[in-house]
Chain A
Amino acid sequence: MPRTPVLWRGSLFPLAAPALALFSWLWVNSQLATEDRYWAAGSATATSAAFLLGPLTAALAAREVGRVRDASAVFGRPVRTPARVVVDAVAPATAAGLVGVLAAYLTASWHLLGVPGGPDGRFVLLAVLVVVAHTAVGAAFGWWSRPLIAIPSCFILLYCWMALPIGVEPMWLRHLTGFTDWGLAVYLEVDPAGVWAPILVNGGVLVAFALALACSAPDRSPRSTATGAVLCAAVLVPALAGGISTARHLGPDPVVLRAAPDECFDGPVTLCVYPEDLDRVEEIRAGVDLAVAELTSRGFPAPTRAIHGVGADDEETWTFTMNAFSSPESLASSIVAAQVPSMPEGCGGMGTYLTYYLALDWLTTAEDEFDDPELNEHWAALHRLPEEDQLAWFHGARDAVAACGSHLDALGPEVS
């Protein structure tokens, strides 16, 4: 007696499972090489492998169902329900897809060995749902059309569904698919809507398929086909509407700022970092100390706290961001540069741009000559001021940039 159901014999599982696992390993390795060592990023990256695992699993499912479909005339009227027959037929394809998901998460786990936390259950659920929902769609293709048509067409269509929305409008479309390649930094976390929207859509597809199978008659009578179609629509339409309504407000990446870290270390400057960076505290402190030295030499007061994350800095508290590759020097540079706030979205005035670049350049002493002659004149005017006036101009410029304004007038009418 074979240990597996007979349809596993002659299925593509033995070839497909290692191939999908290899793809997952390559994908997650390449993506996580540049990501923060952070489980939210690891989970999103592992789940993002579904952009290819899904369509490949669908093509496999179409092929496996096609085997039974081609031979179905020989078996006459089965006692098993169509649902049971199809589920049995697609089991090898589904298993191959899930091996791919498992490989993606094992690769992520290997990358994140020692990092506090573990895989995010929502992402695991999403990955499984995407793969199984794709299996369902592939099975439907395989059941209703010949393998020669079903296999390539379901792969191409589903690959387009997964890969194309990222480059098209409306923005929410990309958040329905389950392609979660978001690059989550440690100070960010996923907006739950970004995960629940594709869970709703993929779950809807799966439930619709299950209902269609449950009410399909072996003779594919028009009545059972119509009932199945109505039930499918009754599930798919609300699932899709729910997904769209959940995803409508999301930006390109569905991320939100993570709560400020509460692991703080005393010192001349109290340093607060996320649990993922506890093994880099000394390195981070070295970077903060370099920044403090740099900024105090320019007349800035030393802060009392430095916090990993994004927030409004004041004299008491600095915030900083970094990534897995930040050195103390690069961290110090970014802390220094962060004293000039980014221009708010929609600032279009030339005065704001010039104020911003001039303030940034003054702070980081990056250049003393620009291609823009107007900027050169401003630069020269700024550096002619006494040091305390330069610092006062900088603070004024910082406030002006934050308000989308210009602070060039303060350098004198002859250059403004």
Chain B
Amino acid sequence: MDNLWEIQGKAYSAMLTAHGITFSYDGRKSTLTDVSIHVRSGRTIVLGPNGAGKTTLLNVLAGNVSARAGSVALSVGDGVPPVQPRDRARYARAVGWLPQRATPVRGLRVREQVAYSGWLKGMSRTTAWEAALPALDQVGMAAHAQDRANRLSGGQLRRVTLAQCLVHGSRVLLLDEPTAGLDPRERDRFAEILLGLPAEVAVVVSTHDVVDLVEVVGQVVVLNGGRVVFTGTPAEFLDHGDPSLPASRQAASAYSALVEERTHA
């Protein structure tokens, strides 16, 4: 076990910093251009239209792909040097990743799926097996521990995947469109789960779903065309909306305003 993450029992705040990130899939057209964000403990939402670079940004933050320029670093407390993605083992252990599409390992039951994830992240088989049940409990899936993972509904599978992020004690959770395709009840449940996560865990959620999540986050980042067009608190974000609209539509109006401003610019 890595010393850095052995201090899990002690509450501390994680901070993920991306500075000047530029990324291109084909080496020509940049998907991300000079993106800088600071993610502190608590919840951050990354908004943006299709193709804005949300998934790419999360992939860079997760260390799944390497940026052409810029740096990513994870700070976990005073006196501990920041960890960078090239320090593969320590970084991967600290970061949990929930992709848009969750495919379970064929033939595994829910608890096995989560335990396998813990093992992949460096836990011993015994520790991962024991940690799987509390992680499932955190996402309200402990009752399904013995179910076949491939027989779960989309929402349940999404929660199991979140448990996979939690089982190894991630300090940063990167959730790529976690509520896409879920029914309203599952979306509410997911938001509740996010609210119930320990305060010291930094959660980054990319979504189109402005209305559902903006109320439960501490920071809003808006991406458009591969660039950051807004970073601020939910209140500052809502200030960009039309004050004459009902509260339920203010977030959508703010989002539209920010994206359109950038497009026209």
Q: Which residues of A contact B (CB under 8 A)?
A: 1-2, 5-7, 9-11, 67-68, 70-71, 73-80, 85, 218-219, 221
Residues of B within 8 A of A11 (CB): 107
Is B151 interfacial (CB-CB < 8 Å)? no
Residues of B within 8 A of A10 (CB): 105-108, 112
Please measure, in the bound complex, the distance between the C-alpha atom of A413 and the C-alpha atom of B164, giving whole angstroms: 98
Is B76 interfacial (CB-CB < 8 Å)? no
Beyond A71-B103, A75-B116, A78-B121, 18 additional contacts (C-beta under 8 Å) are: A1-B126, A1-B130, A6-B129, A9-B109, A9-B112, A10-B112, A11-B107, A68-B105, A70-B106, A71-B104, A74-B104, A74-B164, A75-B164, A76-B96, A79-B88, A79-B120, A80-B121, A218-B88
- A73 with B99: CB separation less than 8 A: yes
Residues of B within 8 A of A219 (CB): 64-66
Please measure, in the bound complex, the distance between the C-alpha atom of A75 and the C-alpha atom of B165, giving whole angstroms: 8
- Nearest residue (CB) in B for A1 is B129
Residues of B within 8 A of A80 (CB): 119-122
* Among A67, A70, A76, A80, residue most surrounded by chain B Cβ atoms (within 10 Å): A76
Please measure, in the bound complex, the distance between the C-alpha atom of A26 and the C-alpha atom of B249, giving whole angstroms: 73
Residues of B within 8 A of A76 (CB): 62, 64, 92, 95-97, 99, 165, 174
Interface size on B, residues (CB 8 A): 41
Residues of B within 8 A of A68 (CB): 105
Please measure, in the bound complex, the distance between the C-alpha atom of A10 and the C-alpha atom of B148, giving whole angstroms: 10
- Nearest residue (CB) in A for B123 is A79
- B125 with A75: CB separation less than 8 A: no
Shortest CB-to-CB span from B5 to chain A, Å, is: 10
Interface hits, B62-110 → A, CB 8 Å: 62-66, 88-89, 91-93, 95-99, 101-109
Residues of B within 8 A of A9 (CB): 107-109, 112
- A6 with B112: CB separation less than 8 A: yes
Q: When A and B form their complex, what is the total count of cross-chain residue pairs whose Cβ atoms lie within 8 Å?
A: 94
- B62 with A7: CB separation less than 8 A: no
24 contacts between A and B (CB under 8 A): A2-B129, A6-B108, A6-B125, A7-B116, A9-B107, A9-B112, A10-B105, A10-B106, A10-B107, A10-B108, A70-B103, A71-B103, A74-B104, A76-B92, A76-B95, A76-B97, A77-B62, A77-B63, A77-B91, A77-B95, A79-B89, A79-B120, A80-B119, A80-B121
Is B115 interfacial (CB-CB < 8 Å)? yes
Please measure, in the bound complex, the distance between the C-alpha atom of A10 and the C-alpha atom of B113, giving whole angstroms: 11
Please measure, in the bound complex, the distance between the C-alpha atom of A77 and the C-alpha atom of B121, giving whole angstroms: 8
Please measure, in the bound complex, the distance between the C-alpha atom of A126 and the C-alpha atom of B251, giving whole angstroms: 68
Please measure, in the bound complex, the distance between the C-alpha atom of A78 and the C-alpha atom of B112, giving whole angstroms: 16
Residues of A within 8 A of B107 (CB): 9-11, 67
Residues of A within 8 A of B108 (CB): 6-7, 9-10
Please measure, in the bound complex, the distance between the C-alpha atom of A219 and the C-alpha atom of B116, giving whole angstroms: 20
Residues of B within 8 A of A7 (CB): 105, 108, 116
- A77 with B125: CB separation less than 8 A: no
Please measure, in the bound complex, the distance between the C-alpha atom of A7 and the C-alpha atom of B105, giving whole angstroms: 8
Residues of A within 8 A of B103 (CB): 70-71, 73-74
Is B117 interfacial (CB-CB < 8 Å)? yes
Closest 9 CB pairs of A and B: A10-B107, A76-B97, A79-B122, A6-B112, A78-B120, A77-B92, A71-B105, A67-B106, A79-B92
Please measure, in the bound complex, the distance between the C-alpha atom of A10 and the C-alpha atom of B65, giving whole angstroms: 31
Residues of B within 8 A of A67 (CB): 105-107
Interface hits, B104-148 → A, CB 8 Å: 104-109, 112-113, 115-117, 119-122, 125-126, 129-130
- B161 with A74: CB separation less than 8 A: yes
Please measure, in the bound complex, the distance between the C-alpha atom of A7 and the C-alpha atom of B117, giving whole angstroms: 11
- B120 with A85: CB separation less than 8 A: yes
- Nearest residue (CB) in A for B94 is A79
Q: Which of B93, B99, B129 is the one whose CB lies under 8 Å from A79? A: B93
Shortest CB-to-CB span from B247 to chain A, Å, is: 36
Residues of A within 8 A of B109 (CB): 9
* Among A9, A70, A79, A80, residue most surrounded by chain B Cβ atoms (within 10 Å): A79
* Among A77, A78, A219, residue most surrounded by chain B Cβ atoms (within 10 Å): A77
Residues of A within 8 A of B129 (CB): 1-2, 6
- B95 with A73: CB separation less than 8 A: no
Given that A76-B97, A77-B97, A80-B120 are contacting pairs, would A2 and B112 also be in contact in the complex, using a CB cutoff of 8 Å? yes
Residues of A within 8 A of B125 (CB): 1, 5-6
- A77 with B105: CB separation less than 8 A: no
Residues of A within 8 A of B95 (CB): 76-77
- B101 with A6: CB separation less than 8 A: no
Please measure, in the bound complex, the distance between the C-alpha atom of A90 and the C-alpha atom of B95, giving whole angstroms: 27
- Nearest residue (CB) in B for A221 is B66
- Nearest residue (CB) in B for A217 is B88
Shortest CB-to-CB span from A217 to chain B, Å, is: 9
Please measure, in the bound complex, the distance between the C-alpha atom of A219 and the C-alpha atom of B65, giving whole angstroms: 7
* Among B102, B113, B122, B165, residue most surrounded by chain A Cβ atoms (within 10 Å): B113
Given that A67-B105, A70-B106 are contacting pairs, would A77 and B122 also be in contact in the complex, using a CB cutoff of 8 Å? no
Please measure, in the bound complex, the distance between the C-alpha atom of A218 and the C-alpha atom of B91, giving whole angstroms: 13
Please measure, in the bound complex, the distance between the C-alpha atom of A43 and the C-alpha atom of B95, giving whole angstroms: 52
Shortest CB-to-CB span from B76 to chain A, Å, is: 16
